[in-house]
Amino acid sequence: MVNDVASVSYEPSYFLHLQPDGAMLVERNSMYYFRLSGTAVQLALLLAKTKSVEKTAKVWSNINGIPFSTEQLIHELNQHPLTESWMQGALGKLRLTGSTKSYLPISCTLQLTNGCNLFCSFCYASSGKPLEQELAVEDWMEILQKLSASGVSDITLTGGEARLAKGFKRIVTTASILFTNVHLFSNGLYWKDDEIELISALGNIFVQVSVDGSAHIHDKLRGKKGAYIESMRNIKRLAERGIPCLIAMTVNPQNYEDIRAVIQDAVHAGAAAFRAGVTLPVGRADNHYFELSNEQYLYVDGRLKEAVSEWGDRMLITDWGDEGNEGCNDFCTPGYLAWYIRADGEVTPCQIEGTSMGHILKDSLDDIGTPERLLHARRNATSCKCIGKVELPKEADLPFV
């Protein structure tokens, strides 16, 4: 999984995350990750410790009992795209997270409630009414602490409408304290001044607002007159308080021609980023025809490219390029690096897949992430296509082995 935009400048901050087949170096701000060999993990830890290529080479020679020169180490480091950062000491103190026995996540989405103040015709979660036995605020406090301790760095709070969850302010504040990146998904309606004040003060909350077409189409799809104008107005309010906002448009045959108009309004509202995605045939969209034709898909991609050229200096806009139209991308690793935790505590690979890997309070994180449970979820997935596309190394390459 990867962030859509970095709203402020930052120094890179890395951690190492273990998995049963190997390890990754993760940059915690952007959530970009790079697979490493077992040897590279050990060298990275040594470099972070010694802050010196020469000292690292000497230690490596000592512990392995064979000569290993500085030149050889530099050659080894040159195999990795972050060589310059490594050699300049940018790794800092490296935290080691994850497990060689289970696939623990680095990113999690928490559905705080299935309750929503809208009843959208294409909602993947079929939101509206809360689920039976939704978790209490104390449960979410425990979950956030467990995830933080296990190495999760990136959290998304969603719903329904996440702000409707009981104890929302406590939850979002705790998330902001414990995690580097916090994303809050919202339909953009009914934002109160004190909510905006809180999000602004916390400083590391990125708000994603769903906008699905220009005013007439958006209001029709959302089932609320005036929803488009209110959402755009609230995006402007958030942006004026320094809160980075992403406008996410779910594209379908009813609204695809509105793509340029929505992007233009997003720019004027002060949004930091815009992203378009296809409507997936799950939830309430399962009984409707929302799939784009090839011509419609190409039309949208063409308008996105035009928007990048016209407004790319004012807002981050991503065109579809060669990503395909199935909702997957290179960073979509459901189950392996990302978990979705439903409002009732069930853990699934992603928000559109119902196959459970366990319960976040009844099962340990290690048990939920076992390869056996993950393979079971992969075999039985009915909605998520991405989980079947994750390619893992054929042989384990672990450090310290």
72 in any annotated domain: yes
- pLDDT mean across residues, the chain: 87
Sequence-distant (≥ 6) Cβ neighbours of residue 34 within 8 angstroms: 24, 25, 80, 81, 82
Question: CA 208 to CA 220: how far, in whole Å?
Answer: 20
pLDDT digits (tens, 9 = 90+) for 310-322: 999 999 998 887 4
399: in domain: no
Digit-coded pLDDT (tens) for 148-179: 999 899 999 998 899 999 999 999 999 999 99
Q: Same domain for 267 and 184?
A: yes
**What would the pLDDT profile of 5-60 be if each residue is shown by its tens digit?**
444 445 778 899 999 999 998 988 888 888 888 988 898 888 888 888 899 999 99
Does residue 355 lie within any of the structural domains? no
Whether residues 88 and 236 fall in one domain: no
Q: Which residue, 317, 349, 369, sits at the end of a domain?
A: 317
- Structural domain includes residue 361: no
**Domain co-membership, 253 together with 147:** yes
Picking from 45, 73, 98, the residue at the C-terminal end of a domain is: 98
Residues 43 and 190 in one domain: no
- If asked whether residues 217 and 277 sit together in one domain, one would say yes
Range of the domain at 183: 107-317
Q: Do 85 and 145 lie in a common domain?
A: no
pTM of the model: 0.89
β partners of residue 18: 23, 98
Q: Are residues 92 and 226 in the same domain?
A: no
Residue 329 lies in a domain: no
Would you state the torsion angle of the CA atoms of residues 258, 264, 270, 275, taken in this order, to the nearest 10 degrees?
Answer: 50
Number of domains comprising the chain: 2
Domain final residue, candidates 286, 317, 348: 317
Peptide bond into 160 cis (omega under 30): yes
